[in-house]
């Protein structure tokens, strides 16, 4: 949001414009909620089981990992970068933590190890993007393959089986507290924490400033490199956590888990209203995007629709989201110019 | 490499001499390349020819990170040691036919005696395999067949018909031959899956199963998340569902994992094709009572011996020929150049701990 760098004299106009921008993008989140409501209502109308306790639990569980990745990804996308390596990180972490757990490691050290591996991958991405100035698309595409290769090398055709894992981890994957499964609770906690930080802390606002205009942010004294590095650390760390949750949820893990998920995550983020050009959007929107995509998948299965349509609908939603973003960006830019003149 | 190939050619020629008897000296000297020599050797099988030592075999699985194929290939590599052969596993990290093709070409250039392949696409790998055979390399397919005209032998893990019918019998016994059932398959165009499903449907038409109704074939694409979602969908869309057959290792373990943590545990009967290690947890916690599979180690072992018998000239791949497959005993080649490993084996709580693969 350009408001951060607006000169003091234009504060009133800028504040008005900012409120407008906020409204526009809250409208995005609201429209996602509305789309979800319609989808759920129609599906539940045709098949009542969709909204049964088990049905809701299934959707929340299915969404948890994707939403967690989407939260991390949106932090990166907000800074006008991208992290394509998250799918590979999930796969690597799921296998490595599964391996150490099968050898008798404790649950807490294993979770910490998973997050640490993810953060280490994020560190590599971040250093290459922020300090070596290599375009994010290329860097993370490269690390996508490197990390995947590492995963394949470590796995070497082996498989982690549910029976090798400690019962505590498996319980984490499908257990619940007061009827709410653990996985979505973890995702919710992470989302609220990251969301609050980005929204309320000055350093959090700087992520948006960087995404709006990296050059302006640098001139305004924002430590661009450090913030971008931090964004990749968050994305990598959360991908690491997601890897552990993946293991907990599926129990059986081979060397190529979450293969191709990076694109699903980016889709969720974009559908959730985080502009791929940076500076705009929220982690709540991204998580909603993940929820919407997952729910569509589940609804189509329940409605017995040909699975081909699932991909087609995801694609159509993406195009719609990007078109809406473009239209909004043009409108908002025009309004901001007007606000500035007044 | 060249001296190796020359030795191989020479050996094949001497075999040809031994087999045909009438080969004149001039034809030996005029034989330009190993290809015609091997084809003349291939024309007649000599069941008593000894297994050659030092032959080079290469396993080319669907993808190298598939745990199932790793078990098969490692057993095949072990078997090769028994007849003093050299075997290795190479392959792509993705299960695509195009990546397999470059591996076939490389293996051919390296002059391997035999390529053992689990084809990702029956027809796409055909051309390169034919080129390999033209250069005297024997081609044995296992697990997933290539088009019959492009390979010498197919080692079939179990007859497709037997797999399909036995899966239905297994589930029918568990649910008392009554109720709605569904199938959770891999991808919609997987050859082996579709053949099995065809026989399952055929088995279900028997009067014995008149109270069982197949309501849906779902596809989990051998992907954990997709298999989860499809299982959930089946259970929601068909509330009266009694049983699910998942004839794919990824599908059956994902479905078991989902059911074990849901309210459907104990209400739905799941069976299918899975490995003992991945299903152990779910057999122990009562989610799954019985499931089936052949022994993948025996599959690799048999493939290795079959390749050795081909290379040594004991067999040519014609129907009715027999060869000795080490500890598995004598095997006979059936129609279409297929050698069948045996009927699927059923695992349950009583015997699962005897297996580790």
State the Cα–Cα distance between residues A6 and A50, nearest whole angstrom.
49
Interface contact flag, A152 B70, Cβ < 8 Å: no
pLDDT at B40: 40
Instruction: Tell me the per-residue pLDDT of A230-281, one tens digit each, with 9 for 90 and over.
Output: 999 999 999 999 999 999 999 989 888 888 899 999 999 999 989 898 998 9
CA B229 to chain centre: 28
Interface contact flag, A62 B280, Cβ < 8 Å: no
State the Cα–Cα distance between residues B113 and A167, nearest whole angstrom.
48
* B67 touches A: beta carbon within 8 Å: yes
> Is the per-residue pLDDT at A11 higher than 60?
no
Give B285→chain A minimum CA distance, Å.
10
> Is the per-residue pLDDT at B21 higher than 80?
no
Q: What's the full length of chain B, in residues?
A: 357
Q: Residue A272: which H helix or E strand, with range?
A: none
Claim: this prediction has a pTM higher than 0.90: no
pLDDT grade for A13, boundaries at 50, 70 and 90 = low
In the block, residue with structure tokens 């990251």: A194
- Cβ atoms within 10 A of the Cβ of B155, count? 30
pLDDT at B116: 96
Interface contact flag, A152 B233, Cβ < 8 Å: no
pLDDT at A24: 66
Instruction: Tell me the per-residue pLDDT of B78-91, one tens digit each, with 9 for 90 and over.
Output: 999 999 999 999 99
CB B101 within 8 A of CB B71: no
Q: Bridge partners of B217?
A: B183
State the Cα–Cα distance between residues B131 and A339, nearest whole angstrom.
72
Q: Of A182, A293, A296, A189, which is closest to residue A248 (Cα–Cα)?
A: A182
- Write the class of the CATH domain A31-341: mainly alpha
pLDDT at A75: 97
Percent of chain B predicted with pLDDT > 70:
88
Mutant choice from B267, B281, B282, B291 vs A, greatest count of A C-beta within 10 A: B281
CB A177 within 8 A of CB A189: no
Instruction: Tell me the per-residue pLDDT of A137-146, one tens digit each, with 9 for 90 and over.
Output: 999 999 999 9
B49-157+297-341 maps to which CATH number? Answer: 3.40.50.2300
Cα radius of gyration rounded to whole Å, chain A:
21
Question: Residue B230 contacts by C-beta under 8 Å, 6 or more apart in sequence?
Answer: A301, B184, B218, B219, B220
> Is the per-residue pLDDT at B42 higher than 80?
no
Cα radius of gyration rounded to whole Å, chain B:
22
pLDDT at B235: 92
Least confident of A70-79, A227-236, B315-324: B315-324
Q: Bridge partners of A253?
A: A160
Mutant choice from A163, A248, A314 vs B, greatest count of B C-beta within 10 A: A163
State the Cα–Cα distance between residues B143 and A131, nearest whole angstrom.
49
Instruction: Tell me the per-residue pLDDT of A94-123, one tens digit each, with 9 for 90 and over.
Output: 999 999 999 999 999 999 999 999 999 999
Interface contact flag, B282 A162, Cβ < 8 Å: yes
Q: Residue B95: which H helix or E strand, with range?
A: none
- Cβ atoms within 10 A of the Cβ of A331, count? 12
The answer to whether B49-157+297-341 and B160-293 have equal CATH topology is yes
B160-293 maps to which CATH number? Answer: 3.40.50.2300
In order of A22, A213, A280, A340, B224, the CA distances from A7 in angstroms are: 19, 15, 20, 10, 52
pLDDT at A326: 78
Percent of chain A predicted with pLDDT > 90:
62
Least confident of A15-19, A34-38, A104-108, B243-247: A15-19
- Cβ atoms within 10 A of the Cβ of B95, count? 22
pLDDT at A250: 93
**Dihedral of CA B116/B121/B123/B124: which sign?**
negative
Q: What rounded mean pLDDT belongs to chain B?
A: 86
Q: Is pLDDT larger for residue B214 or for residue A13?
A: B214
CB B49 within 8 A of CB B147: no
CB B317 within 8 A of CB B148: no
The terminus-to-terminus CA distance of chain A in angstroms comes to 19
Instruction: Tell me the per-residue pLDDT of A200-221, one tens digit each, with 9 for 90 and over.
Output: 999 999 999 999 999 999 999 9
Mutant choice from B61, B225, B227, B265 vs A, greatest count of A C-beta within 10 A: B225
Q: Any idea where the domains of chain B sit in the sequence? A: 1-44, 49-157+297-341, 160-293
Pick the residue from chain A with its C-alpha nearest to B234: A302
pLDDT at A25: 63
State the Cα–Cα distance between residues A207 and A203, nearest whole angstrom.
7
């Amino acid at each position: 949001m350009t408001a951060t760098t607006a000169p003091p004299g234009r504060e009133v106009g800028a504040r008005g414009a900012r409120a407008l921008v906020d409204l526009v993008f809250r409208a995005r989140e609201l429209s996602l909620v509305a789309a979800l409501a319609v989808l759920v209502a129609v599906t539940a109308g045709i098949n009542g089981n969709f909204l049964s306790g088990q049905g809701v639990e299934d959707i929340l569980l299915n969404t948890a990992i994707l939403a967690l990745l989407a939260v991390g990804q949106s932090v990166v996308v907000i800074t006008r970068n991208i992290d394509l390596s998250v799918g590979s990180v999930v796969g690597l972490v799921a296998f490595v933590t599964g391996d150490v757990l099968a050898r008798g490691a404790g649950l807490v050290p294993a979770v910490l190890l998973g997050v640490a591996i993810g953060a280490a991958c994020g560190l590599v991405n971040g250093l290459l993007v922020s300090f070596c100035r290599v375009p994010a698309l290329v860097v993370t595409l490269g690390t996508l393959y490197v990390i995947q290769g590492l995963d394949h090398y470590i796995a070497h055709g082996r498989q982690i089986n549910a029976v090798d894992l400690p019962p505590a981890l498996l319980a984490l994957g499908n257990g619940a507290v007061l009827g709410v499964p653990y996985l979505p609770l973890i995702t919710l906690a992470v989302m609220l924490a990251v969301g609050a930080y980005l929204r309320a802390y000055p350093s959090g606002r700087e992520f948006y400033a960087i995404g709006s205009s990296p050059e302006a942010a640098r001139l305004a004294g924002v430590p661009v490199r450090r913030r971008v590095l931090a964004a990749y650390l968050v994305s990598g760390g959360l991908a690491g956590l997601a890897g552990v949750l993946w293991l907990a949820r599926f129990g059986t893990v081979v060397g190529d888990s979450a293969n191709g998920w990076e694109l699903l995550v980016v889709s969720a983020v974009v559908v959730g209203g985080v502009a791929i050009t940076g500076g705009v959007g929220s982690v709540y929107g991204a998580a909603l995007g993940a929820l919407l995509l997952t729910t569509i998948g589940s609804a189509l299965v329940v409605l017995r629709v040909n699975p081909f349509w699932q991909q087609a609908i995801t694609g159509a939603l993406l195009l719609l989201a990007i078109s809406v973003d473009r239209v909004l960006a043009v409108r908002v830019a025009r309004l901001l110019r007007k606000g500035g003149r007044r | 490499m060249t001296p190796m190939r020359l030795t191989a050619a020479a050996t094949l020629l001497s075999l040809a001499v031994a087999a045909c008897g009438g080969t004149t000296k001039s034809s030996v000297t005029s034989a330009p390349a190993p290809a015609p020599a091997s084809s003349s050797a291939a024309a007649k099988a000599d069941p008593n020819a000894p297994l050659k030592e030092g032959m080079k075999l290469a396993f080319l699985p669907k993808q190298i990170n598939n745990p199932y194929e790793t078990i098969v290939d490692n057993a095949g590599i072990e078997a090769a040691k028994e007849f003093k052969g050299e075997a290795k596993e190479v392959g792509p990290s993705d299960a695509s036919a195009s990546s397999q093709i470059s591996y076939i070409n490389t293996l051919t250039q390296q002059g391997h005696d035999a390529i053992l392949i689990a084809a990702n696409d029956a027809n796409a790998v055909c051309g390169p395999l034919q080129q390999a055979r033209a250069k005297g390399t024997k081609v044995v397919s296992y697990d997933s067949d290539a088009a019959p005209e492009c390979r010498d032998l197919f080692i079939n893990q179990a007859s497709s018909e037997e797999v399909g019918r036995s899966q239905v019998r297994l589930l029918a016994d568990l649910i008392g031959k009554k109720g709605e059932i569904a199938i959770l398959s891999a991808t919609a165009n997987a050859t082996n899956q579709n053949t099995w499903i065809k026989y399952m449907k055929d088995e279900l038409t028997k009067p014995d199963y008149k109270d069982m109704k197949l309501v849906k074939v779902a596809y989990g694409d051998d992907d954990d998340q997709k298999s989860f979602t499809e299982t959930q969908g089946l259970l929601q869309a068909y509330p009266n569902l009694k049983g699910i057959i998942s004839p794919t290792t990824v599908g059956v373990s994902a479905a078991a994992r989902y059911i074990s943590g849901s309210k459907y545990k104990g209400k739905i009967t799941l069976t299918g094709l899975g490995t003992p290690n991945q299903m152990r947890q779910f057999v122990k916690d009562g989610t799954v009572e019985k499931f089936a599979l052949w022994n993948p180690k025996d599959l690799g072992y048999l493939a290795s011996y079959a390749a050795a018998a081909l290379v040594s000239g004991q067999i040519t791949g014609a129907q009715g020929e027999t060869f000795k497959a080490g500890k598995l005993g004598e095997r006979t080649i059936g129609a279409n150049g297929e050698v069948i490993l045996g009927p699927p084996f059923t695992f349950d709580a009583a015997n699962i701990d005897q297996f580790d693969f």
